[in-house]
Amino acid sequence: MRRPAKVYVAGEAEAAMIVLSVPLSFWGGIDAATGRIIDHSHPALGTSIAGRILVMPSGRGSSSSSSVLAETIRRGTGPRGIVLAHPDPILTVGAIVAGALYDLRCPIVICSIDGLRSGDILRVSAAVPDAAEICLIESLHAH
Amino acid sequence: MHLSDGDRSMLEGEQGDAAGFAMQIVTAFAEAVGADALLDISRAHIDGCLYHGAVSLDFVERLVAGGGRVRVPTTLNVGSLDLIHPELVHLPAEEQRPAERLMRVHEALGCQPSFTCAPYQTLFRPAFGEQIAWGESNAIVFANSVIGARTNRYGDFVDLCCAMTGRAPAWGLHLDAGRRGQILFRLSGFPASQAPTDSLFIAIGLIVGRRSGERIPVIEGLPRPRDEDQLKALGAAAASTGAVALFHAVGITPEAATLGDAFAGGTPEETIVITPAGVTEALVELSSVPAGSPLTAICLGTPHFSRAEWDRLLVLLRQTQPTRPIPIYVNTDRAVLQQLEAEGAFRNLTDWRLIPVADTCTYITAILEKLDGVVMTNSGKWAHYAPGNIGVRVAFGELEECVASAAAGRVIRGVA
């Protein structure tokens, strides 16, 4: 299944999705050392986002989430890419800073997240760093 | 999005590597919030001195290496250390080093080493209508509400990038349309003789923060404050329990001469009544111990104590003879502290255990000697965050109650 998406942070990624129905704040919500969800009020408490493509409706909470996202990308405990239904300035900045400082790409694209399922593989090809650009993301069933 | 020639020149790296990098982040942020242009700012306040990991330091050092320099007067928020009294902070050396480096490296970009969360009570106070890019929730709400300067809630990386470029996305609270009230809080049932106590302002702030969500609150029926420090306490409380970046108080704050002005001719989406019982309830929730409980310390100055707040405290200290004094920590701006010391303001207070703290705050770093006891504060913000941040139990009270309790070593209530 392919769908169009708007590119906020460019990059290529292919990984299994983790789909969260409730927005997660990286600050106070993710342990940067492990990539695990530590927010006790979050339904996915204990799950790891490391190496996955994180899919959720929107971002949430403190601006310190920019730092925490960038720090997880630096440590290799962060998501491979992020798909949101609504743009989020805080996460956008975190991913751009990590890309600029460490040359580690965590693409962020905005599209409908209906029908995306945890565990399925998602391929994001968002080569052009232009928010007006539409890319196609492709979800494949897990093998 | 429309970029000016200057913006594009910066983005293309013609004005240096650091300015290009910073402009890339400002424009990406602007795209994500849906702004169609950038606007000039005249000041910035950077909340970047708390260490969140190597990325915090790598980011600022990259700007320094790229020849970066802030383009507008820029103040710094608190860090993890008290650089004036380093002996007060009990952090392991491996945590102190990067924290100190982070504070120092911002100075290399041309930021003022103010290290205060109350930049609005320094020489760098903005004026009504000024476009600014500020971080730190209590500073943002004060600048917008009490002064009428204009900033959105900036933070990590972006506040500094605005300072490096002198530009911010033209959206939200920078624009007239983004500043009109949306939800009304009406005080009701209070006696005409209602005293404008600090705790009344704090309780209203706590309630407004909790109930406003993303909407801009308007408060009607607030008694005239003694001074701006009461509005500072209200804003800090509202920004602790919620995401409030601007409030209007009818007849008090500069964009709300009348109820109609506060809503810019529109009508409230919702009206919430605040009663004396609601105020009492909000205050009771701040304290987890009864009167008479033994105390280990008093913490004042969250946000940083202004000169006027110090003057109130110093008068109370001179009027009271301590019997079993406990430490009184007072977070403050280093410039205020310097001036007090030059004036000899702390002379003849040797019976007290008064410990001024600069550059940081007692709820974010390891300063208190004992964390297993009860700490009393007159700050709604400190009472809200300290139990989660440093694990203490809290008693909240008026400044007069805090001083009486400091003298006796236990919680004293009902001192006027």
Per-residue pLDDT tens digits for B288-302: 999 999 999 999 999
More confident residue, B115 or B369: B115
3-state secondary structure of B365: coil
Per DSSP bridges, beta strands A53-56 and A11-19 are parallel
**Quick one: pLDDT at residue A64?**
85
H/E stretch holding B355 reads strand B353-358
What mean pLDDT is predicted for residues A136-142?
Answer: 67
Instruction: Residue B218: name the closest of B168, B175, B169, B253 by CA.
Output: B253
More confident residue, B371 or B255: B255
CATH classification code of A2-140: 3.50.30.10
**Quick one: pLDDT at residue B193?**
86
Check pLDDT > 50 for residue A131: no
Check pLDDT > 50 for residue B47: yes
Check pLDDT > 80 for residue B74: yes
**Quick one: pLDDT at residue A141?**
66
Check pLDDT > 60 for residue B94: yes
Residue A142: pLDDT band (50, 70, 90) is: low
A107–chain B Cβ distance below 8 A for any pair: no
What mean pLDDT is predicted for residues B267-283?
Answer: 97
**Quick one: pLDDT at residue A3?**
84
**Which residues in chain B have Cβ-Cβ distances shorter than 8 Å to A71?**
52-55
**Quick one: pLDDT at residue B318?**
96
Question: Which CA distances in Å does B389 have to A54, B155, B199, B235, B384?
Answer: 28, 20, 22, 20, 10
Q: Which two tokens stand for residue B101?
A: 């480096």
Check pLDDT > 90 for residue A1: no
Paired strand residues for B300: B330
B172 in Cβ contact with B46 (< 8 Å): no
Catalytic residue (choose from A48, A62, A64, A118): A62
Q: Is the peptide bond before B303 cis (omega within 30 degrees of 0)?
A: yes
Q: What percent of chain B stands above pLDDT 70?
A: 100
ipTM of the complex: 0.87
Check pLDDT > 70 for residue A55: yes
All domains of chain B in start order, with CATH: 5-176 (3.30.499), 180-284 (3.40.1060), 297-408 (3.30.499.10)
Which one-letter amino acid corresponds to residue B296?
A: T
Check pLDDT > 70 for residue A128: no
Cβ contacts of B281 within 8 Å, gap of 6 or more: none
Question: Please, is B307 exposed, middle or buried when counting C-beta atoms within 10 Å of its C-beta (0-12, 13-18, 19+)?
Answer: middle
**Which residues in chain A have Cβ-Cβ distances shorter than 8 Å to B158?**
63, 66, 89, 93
Question: Which CA distances in Å does B18 have to A78, B76, B165?
Answer: 26, 19, 9
Read off the pTM: 0.93
Q: Which two tokens stand for residue B308?
A: 């006027």
Q: Return residues 351-410 of B near A (CB < 8 Å).
A: none
**Quick one: pLDDT at residue A134?**
53
What mean pLDDT is predicted for residues A14-33?
Answer: 92
CB contact under 8 A, B156 and A63: yes
Summarize pLDDT for B320-356 with one digit per residue, the tens: 999 999 999 999 999 999 999 999 999 999 999 999 9
Check pLDDT > 70 for residue A132: no
Angstrom distance (rounded) from CA B99 to CA B362: 16
Check pLDDT > 70 for residue A143: no
What mean pLDDT is predicted for residues A90-110?
Answer: 94
Check pLDDT > 90 for residue A43: yes
